[in-house]
């Protein structure tokens, strides 16, 4: 047997992680075993700890509360049934979904857009947005707009069913 025949190549793919091991069989075996014992459990744990949003599930839970109109994000719930903060978050949630559906270039909305949608004074809108930013549910962008933090999307997603029952 020649030296080239002693070389083994193994390619492993797990989710987004790909690794190729090349070398003598025993060295490759050790490397593959280490990959399975160290990388995959760490990746699995990290995946469990990573905050993600299932878009299809979110859309299903949000129907009847928000909509994506050609004119922009809309809240379908009567304004008098929501607090200003809830309404602002729902507009931002609609923008979040619109971006992911390719219906909008950004998930951020300007203070002026939100003020017009809310139908309140600039002072009230600014105050509510500041409160939401301080709470960590809304993030102010470098361009001066506002968008939902992922944690707020998850919170709203878990509250949508209860909100639908309460409001409708």
Whether the pLDDT of residue 103 is over 70: the answer is yes
Higher-pLDDT residue of 61, 42: 61
Q: Which residue has the tokens 């951020």?
A: 108
What is the Cβ-side half-sphere exposure of residue 18, based on CA atoms within 13 angstroms?
2
Please write down the long-range contacts of 113-119, taking CB distance under 8 Å and 24 or more positions apart: 113/72, 114/88, 114/146, 117/72, 117/73, 117/74, 117/75, 117/87, 117/91, 118/79, 118/84, 118/87, 118/88, 118/91, 119/79
Whether the pLDDT of residue 114 is over 60: the answer is yes
CA distance 63 to 7: 57
The model's pTM is 0.72
Whether the pLDDT of residue 168 is over 70: the answer is no
């Amino acid at each position: 047997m020649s030296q080239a025949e002693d070389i083994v190549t193994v390619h492993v793919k797990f989710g987004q992680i790909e690794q190729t091991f090349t070398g003598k069989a025993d060295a490759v075996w050790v490397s593959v075993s280490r990959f399975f014992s160290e990388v995959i459990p760490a990746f699995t744990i990290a995946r469990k700890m990573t905050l993600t949003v299932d878009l299809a599930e979110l859309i299903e839970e949000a129907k009847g509360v928000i909509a994506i109109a050609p004119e922009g994000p809309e809240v379908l719930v009567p304004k008098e049934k929501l607090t200003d903060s809830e309404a602002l978050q729902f507009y931002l949630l609609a923008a979040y979904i619109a971006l992911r559906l390719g219906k909008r270039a950004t998930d951020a909305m300007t203070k002026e857009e939100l003020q017009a949608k809310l139908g309140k004074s600039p002072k009230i809108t600014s105050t509510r947005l500041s409160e939401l930013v301080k709470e960590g549910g809304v993030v102010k962008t470098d361009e001066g707009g506002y968008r939902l933090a992922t944690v707020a999307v998850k919170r709203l997603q878990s509250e949508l069913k209860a909100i639908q029952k309460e409001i409708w």
